[in-house]
Structures are given as C-alpha cells and as structure tokens.
Chains A and B, each alone.
Chain A
Amino acid sequence: MNNEVIDSRTSQLTKLQRLDLWANQFSDRLNPILIKETRQSLKSRQFIFTFFSLLTAALGWTIVGSLSRMPQIYTTPSAPTLLLGYYAVLAVPMLLVVPLAAYRSLEVEIDDGTLELLSISSLSPWQVVLGKLASSLLQIFLYFIVLLPCMAYAYTLRGVNLTSILLITTTLLASGIFLTIFSVFFASLTHTRSGRTLTLLGTVIILLASVAGISLAMSSLILDGNLLSPNELFFSIASCLFIGPCAGHLMLTATAIRLTPESENRSTPLRRSVLALSTSIIFASALATLLLSARVTRTTILSQPDFLYGLMLAGGTLWTIAGSMFVSESPNLTPRVKRDLPSSIFHRSFSTWLTPGPATGFFFVCINAFLMVAWFGFGLKWLAATNLSVDEFAIVSKRLAWAFELSSTFAAYLVITLIFVGYLVRLIRKKQNPRIEIGIASLIATTIMMALIPYSIGLHLNEFRTYAYSNWQMSNWIWTLSWIYQGNDPGSVPFLVKLIAILILVISLIRNRKVTRPTRTATPQRVLDEKQKKRPNHAGELD
C-alpha cells in the first residue's frame, strides 16, 4: 500500500523534482563533510576570487600569448610558450591556493571548536579527513576542467607532444592532491596558537619550495621535451604510483590519528601504513633493478646505482622517525585496546607486532629494518644476477655490497638508538604523559649526544686539532656512516656496532617475552549487543 502511494506520488513529480529527489538521495551516501565544505566553498570569497582570477588569467594569457606569437603562430610551433603560461595559471590555485585552503579549513575547525562537535558525532576521524580531502579534490578538478580547453588549444599550436601534456597534467593533479594531504596533516599537528604559527610557516615554505621544484621540472618538460628514456620514464611513473599513494595514506592516517581519542588503538593503523610505505620502497627498488639493468642503460646507470641511495635514505628515514615514535608509546593498554588483542596462536604470530606498546614497537622496527637491509643486501643482488653477465655482475655486486654495509650499519645504529630513546621516554613518562612525538625529540637529543660526545672528547685529547677516525668514534654514527659512504675502511667498528645491536635485541626479546602473550579481555555482552544492533538513525527512510 505504502509503495503504491509512493509510486503515485513519485509519478506526479516533474523531471526537475525527480532529479532533485535523486540528488538528495545520492547525497545521503556522500561524506557529510564533503557536502558541507562544498556548500561553504561555493559561497566563500576565496573560491569566487580564485575561480574568476583563473578564468580571467586563462583568457588573458590566451589573447596575449597568441598575439605575442603573431604572425609566426601560423608557421612555427607555439605550444610551449602558451602551455608555460597555462601551467603557471593552473599551478597557483592547484598547488598553492587549494592546499592552503585545506590547511585553513582544518585550522578553523580546531579554532572554532567545531572539530570537537564533529568528534562526538557518528563521523570517524577518517571520514573527517577524507571529507576535507574530497572537497579540495573537487576544487582541484574544477580548476583543471576549466583550463582543459586552453590546454587543448595549446596542443593544436604544435611543439609539445601528447605524452608531455599528459605528464604535465598528471603531475599537476598528483602534486595538488599530495600537497593538500600534506597541508591537512600539518594543520592537525598542533592545537596551540604558537604551534599553529610555526606549522603555517612550515606549510607555506614547503608549498613554495614544492611549487618551485615542480615548476622547474615542468618548464623543462615543456621547453625541452621528455629527456628520460622509456625505461626511466616507466620507473619514475611506477615508483611514484607505488610510493606516492602509500606516503599519502601514511599522512592521512597520521592526521586521522591526531583526531582520534587516546583510548582508541591509534598505533596499529599507523604501523600498517608505515609497513605499506616500506613495502612500496622495496617494490620500487626491485623495479628499478629490473628495469635499469636493461642493455641500453646498463653501463651508464647500473654501475652508479643512485636510485639505491635515494631509496635507502627514504627507508632509513622512515623507520628512524616511525621507530622513535613507536618506542615512545605508553606501555599501558586501555581496556578498549585489550579487547582487540590477538588471541589465537596464528593471529598472535602475525599481529603481535602491530599491537600498541613500546616493546612491540621496538621489535616491529627491528624486524622491518632487518628485512629492508636483507633486501638491499641479497634481494637486489639476486635480481641483478638474473639479468647481467658475469663481468657486469661483478661491478654491480661490488656496489651492492657497499650498499649492504652502509644500510646494515645504519640499522644497527638505529637499534641501539631506539633503546636509548625508549629509556629516555620511560623516564619522562614517570612525570608526564607526553605525546608520542616526544620520541622524535628524544631521538634528536640521543643521536646528537652519541655523535657529539666522542667527537668532543677526541677533539679535546688532540688539543682541538683535526684527527683521524678511530675505533673510539664507534658511537659517532655520523662519522662512521660517512666514512663507509666515502669508501674508507672503518675497521672493526661496523662489526662491533652490529654485535652490540644483536645483543641488545636478544636481551630485549628475552626481557619482553611476556609481550607475546598479551592478556585479551572479554568484551561486555551489552557492548556486543549494541554493536550487533543496526543504528536506527542509519535505517532512515530513503523514499
């Protein structure tokens, strides 16, 4: 009966009303933040000003650029000149205005207390963050679509191939999205006024630097064309596709975690995200080894595996920063977290290292650092051996052995440093309840002291004159690593450092054996019942 009434009522509606009804129903499935932000944006002065400025600039440059190329525009390729202008017109809103607007949007939510109101609604922190991102993406796409005809016009003027135009537009879009994620992440870092001044300053500086860097690369692409070989181009795109989304996911996870209450498990999602990024680095290095060992580039690039330096540096930085935060977590698990601890042997075997706590965090970092080092030491060697001749492999093998030495020593230093950081944070926790970011501060303090103390002693003993590297500089990780990097022989220092790291690891494993047997607590029946129930609000009518 009801359906008949609804059908007859629906049939009486005009097409416009039906569209409105459909749009209303569709909006129920969208993120509420996206709807709110879009409503706000469309009314905001910032959007109106940016949009009309973009239109005016695009139109202006089309006229001015075309006239300035007259009369050669009919005979000589003129696309680069016009495309350069269009790039500038599009880059400002996409790489600067939208990320800053996203930053400001989250900042205002924190300032006005509306973020508190959102956090007690049914929206999860992830929904809040994704809603902000989605509304920014909408603006980015809007600006992009507006300028699309202009780019098509530039293409008709010849001088830039379709691949370059695709590369430019994809890079702009990807960079815009990434910088927006970055800005939202920075906005969530602090809630204090002084802290926000710093984060705003940092965001602006990083955005400007990024815009400058991207613009340089893009203008080179427009004016000189694509200088990369097909393999290099494929590697660049593929590694960006691997690493970019994982890095973006990590920043979004970190932002969502900043908005998540302390009683929740905030560590596991972060660990998963770090693990994904680490895996993407490993994939990228594997891909690079396979692609760059092709005959065309073998002699030029593979003998100098610069890509490895970059990836090793990225992996090392990632695990150092993440590790310092993981070992700084509170050792006390909330009852809420204890309910979700792994219970079966299988579950425990794989998930224990993902559960919150400094001990699990330490082993999580150690295991992954070990895996990464093993990959750089043996995995890449094996991959290279499958594609290279014996002579070529001998050259490559030498470089990879060097990379292994450097990365394994770094990992050993990381293990030792994290133990110190853990103890330092434990001391602080006796008086305070610091955020896990205290781990980064402790890490900086520890690493500086580890390097500075032996160096200063050495300087004092040598009457403040320069002196040679010796075993006494064992804790001076900067000197030791740079010594290895320069190809010098550091003596027995790497061996000793690795031995100490292994000993520390074994002792910690024995001391923290209880961590592998976490006591999961039962979830109350009423909570289980409540979870089973469908929320009545969600079962609202859609008719």
Chain B
Amino acid sequence: MSDEPSIARRDQNNDNNGPVKHSTGPEHSTGPEHSTGPEHSDNFDDQQADQGNSIGQSPPVPNSGALSSQGVHQSPPSAIELKRLHRFFGDTKAVHDVSFSVSRGQIYGYIGPNGAGKTTSMKILATLDLPSYGDAFVDGFSVVNDPEFVRQRLGYMPDAFGTYRDVSCIEYLDFFARAHGLIGRERERRLQRVMDFTGTQGMKDKPIRGLSKGMKQRLCLGRSMIHDPAVMILDEPAAGLDPRARIQLRQMIRELADQGKTILISSHILTELAEICDSVGIIEQGKLLATGSVSEIQSQRQECRKLVVRVLSDPEEAANKIKRNLEIKEVLVDGQLLKFEFQGDIQQQAVLVRSLIEQGVELAEVRSHQKSLEDVFLSVTEGLVQ
C-alpha cells in the first residue's frame, strides 16, 4: 500500500473501518488552492497532472485498488469512493475536501445539518453536478470521466419526489424502466418485482397525484431501483413520513442492503440511521468531521460516561466516598440515586463498583449512559450554517 499514490494513502486513513478521522489535518490544505477561482472543470488538468505525477513516481501497482492514469480503478475495492471532493459556489464552499469510501453491501449514513453539503455531494455522486476539485467513484468509475457507467450502476432518490402529472403509478414505473433501457419481458418482470417489493401493486392504476406522501416515497424508491442498480443514493427518504411509514421504509432499506446493494443514505432522523447504518459520516459546513462505524464514533467521542448509581445505604455518605475515590468534584444526589460523570473505560468502571462495595456502600443498581448518535452528532457539530 505504501506504493500507492498520495491520494490513495490519505484515503486509507479515512477508511470507514479505521479510526475516526477528522478531515481538517494539515495535509488537506495543499490541493484545493489550485482551484479557488473557477467553480468547476478548470482544474481537470491539475487533477490529472496530480494523479499522473503520483502514478509516475510509483512503480506498477499490483493492488487492485490502484488508480489508472485516467482515474478508473482497475478493480474497485469500494462501491462508493469520494476523493478530496470539493464543490464551490462562488465563495461558498458547499463541499470542502470530503473523502470517504463505502464497501459493497454496506449502508452508509450521511449526517449533517441543513446546508451542510450532503445533497451537493450526493448530486455529484449521482452525476448531476460536477466537483470543483477531486473526484467521486461508483464501482470504480469516475463521475467526471465516465458518468454513463456510473449511471448504469446507480439508483438515485432525491429529496423531491419528481413525479409526473396525469400518469398512473404503473405508467410512471414503466416509463423509467424504458428510460433505463429495459424492454419486453425483462421490463415486465422488473416492474412486477419492484411493485411487490415496495408494496405498490395495489395502487398501480391510481394516478400519482392522489397518492399520500408515504406512497409517493415508496413509488420513488421503486423508480430508483427499477434497473436493479448496485449502488443506491437516498437523499432524506424518511423526511415527512409518519412513524409506520418510516419503519416500513427502514425495513425496505435493510432488505436492499441484504440483497447486496450499497446504500448511501442521508437523514435527519439519527436514531433510525444508527439502527440501520453500518457506518456514518458527519458533515458540517462542507467538511467531513467524522466518519466510521457508529460504535467507533461513539467510543471515540466518549470522553466521559455518565454513571447513575442507586444506593440503599446513606446516599450522602456514598457520594462522599465516590468523590474521595475518584476525585470527582460533583456528584448529584437525587434521592437514592447518585449521578456523576466518570472518565474511564468499562474495566475501570468495574474497579469502581468493586471498591464502593468493599467500602460498605450498598449498591442496588449501576447504570452507564452510552452516548447516542444524536449526542455524538451534537458534540461533533457546532450547528454552523453557511
């Protein structure tokens, strides 16, 4: 791996299986300066030169993940890969040096406040926009250089429905099946499969205009998977859905991942993402602040854990013992409950419990409060909006 180009080496650090990586390190400040002017495409030569030089300096790379001189992976290791992605709109940096990759069959949650750059990066991945700098790959094909191959492998569900007037559900799906080049029996089979999967069979002759939001969302999910793509990009699919519809959508997404599809999903409902995502990326003001599996991010961000202890003996005395033992300044006494913040891992927590028992404190219950994805999100982001 050490022979790989510098970009690839950087990405190794950002691998979603590796430790949480903040993408604001000093090495990030070198590239984008070339392209502060024009919004996009003016840096293609720079990019290519960058890639070409890197390749030129290194010996032939047998590694399957290596880049060719044209930025196409010979045999891609990841289904989705973003490499130093930048997108500027004038002075606004909508996406600023974002790099991450998603392995095949994984669900990657893309989290960030409104205006963080989620939709922009998703649109670039969907070949609807071009990066100002950097590149994105789907199944090893560049969204800049080979968008037609990316499109064959990609299903995109935008945050807007994108439906037609005076068209029934079956006509809508049929049209997109034809638009994706499906013909004859194959088209009929795909239509049937998609309608069965999304549960839209019963309303196939209904006009789209009269559908509920949940049903429209199902239909749009069906549309995005009509050509059986390997990679799916879902932008806020659960927005505005009722709890039942959200649960059903979550089940469908999980099922798609079980079928081997790679899914990039953005959502504001973090509890849902925590449940279904294999890994997540937190983005704010265009910068990827953290990426990795949910548990990794949680443990990395777990600077101290909240402990709640229920004692049967004198709570004040127990509180003093805790303060003495751990040099904790504040222990909140709430009836029989003692609440305090504990800096230490699970082993140290066991030592504390044993020590308190040995000192005669009658412990009835010990609860350790794990930080949720929401807590992590709040601690990582600052709520800044561009």
A residues bordering B, Cβ < 8 Å?
24-25, 28, 32-33, 35-36, 39-40, 43-44, 108, 112-114, 116-123, 261-263, 330, 332-336, 339, 429-433, 521-527, 530, 535, 537-538, 540-543
Contact = CB atoms under 8 A, between A and B. Distances in A.
23 contacts: A36-B167, A36-B171, A39-B166, A39-B167, A40-B166, A44-B165, A114-B162, A116-B128, A116-B158, A120-B127, A261-B147, A263-B145, A330-B41, A339-B70, A433-B39, A524-B70, A527-B141, A530-B141, A535-B181, A537-B186, A538-B181, A540-B183, A540-B186
B127 A261 contact: yes
**Most chain-A Cβ atoms within 10 A of its Cβ — which of B37, B71, B73?**
B37
Given A114-B163, A334-B144, A432-B90, 4 more contacts: A39-B171, A43-B166, A116-B162, A540-B187
A336 B130 CA distance: 13
Given A429-B42, A535-B152, A113 B126 contact: no
Interface in B38-58: 38-45, 47-48
Contacts of B73: 526
Contacts of B185: 540-543
Given A117-B176, A431-B37, A332 B184 contact: no
Nearest to A120: B151
A503 to B, nearest CB: 30
B180 A522 contact: no
A513 B160 CA distance: 49
Among all A-B residue pairs, the 5 with the closest Cβ atoms: A540-B186, A32-B178, A433-B38, A121-B179, A433-B39
A522 B28 CA distance: 29
A190 B186 CA distance: 38
Nearest to B135: A335
B68 interface: yes
A63 to B, nearest CB: 33
B41 A433 contact: yes
Interface of B: 37-45, 47-48, 68-74, 90, 126-128, 130, 140-141, 144-147, 149, 151-152, 154, 156, 158, 160-167, 171, 175-176, 178-187, 223, 227
Contacts of A123: 179
A448 to B, nearest CB: 27
B128 A120 contact: yes
A120 B154 contact: yes
Given A117-B223, A334-B44, A429-B38, A540 B182 contact: yes
B10 to A, nearest CB: 21
Contacts of B180: 121-122, 537
A470 B268 CA distance: 71
Nearest to A27: B178
B131 to A, nearest CB: 10
B7 to A, nearest CB: 15
A349 B50 CA distance: 31
Nearest to B90: A432
A35 B45 CA distance: 42
A433 B132 CA distance: 10
B128 A527 contact: no
**Most chain-A Cβ atoms within 10 A of its Cβ — which of B171, B178, B184?**
B178
Contacts of A333: 44-45
**Most chain-A Cβ atoms within 10 A of its Cβ — which of B42, B145, B160, B187?**
B145
Contacts of B147: 261, 263
A263 B151 contact: no
Contact of A433 (B40, B48, B161): B40
Contacts of B165: 40, 44, 108
Given A335-B48, A527-B146, A538 B183 contact: yes
Contacts of B176: 117, 121
Given A35-B178, A112-B163, A122-B152, A336 B183 contact: no
Contacts of B160: 112-113
Given A332-B45, A334-B144, A118 B38 contact: no
Nearest to A428: B38
A36 B184 contact: no
A122 B40 contact: no
Contacts of B47: 335
A25 B128 CA distance: 32
A527 B178 CA distance: 24
A262 B70 contact: no
A128 B164 CA distance: 15
B144 A113 contact: no
Contacts of B161: 112-113
Contacts of B227: 537
B316 to A, nearest CB: 63
B42 A330 contact: yes
A20 to B, nearest CB: 13
Contact of B71 (A33, A43, A335, A543): A335
Contacts of A523: 70
Contacts of B175: 32, 35-36
B166 A542 contact: no
Contact of A113 (B72, B145, B162, B184): B162
B145 A334 contact: yes
B190 to A, nearest CB: 9
A263 B71 CA distance: 14
Contact of B183 (A28, A121, A262, A433): A28
B130 A262 contact: yes
Contacts of B37: 429-432
A120 B232 CA distance: 13
Given A112-B160, A121-B179, A527-B149, A522 B70 contact: yes
Contacts of B69: 521-522, 524
Contacts of A121: 151, 176, 179-180
Contacts of A526: 68, 72-74, 140-141
A112 B181 contact: no
Nearest to B156: A120
B179 A540 contact: no
B42 A332 contact: yes
Contacts of B162: 112-114, 116-117
Nearest to A30: B178
B148 to A, nearest CB: 8
Contacts of B163: 112, 114
Contacts of A261: 127, 130, 147
Contacts of A524: 68-70, 72
A44 B164 CA distance: 12
Contact of B144 (A32, A44, A263, A339): A263
Contacts of B146: 336, 527, 530
A377 to B, nearest CB: 41
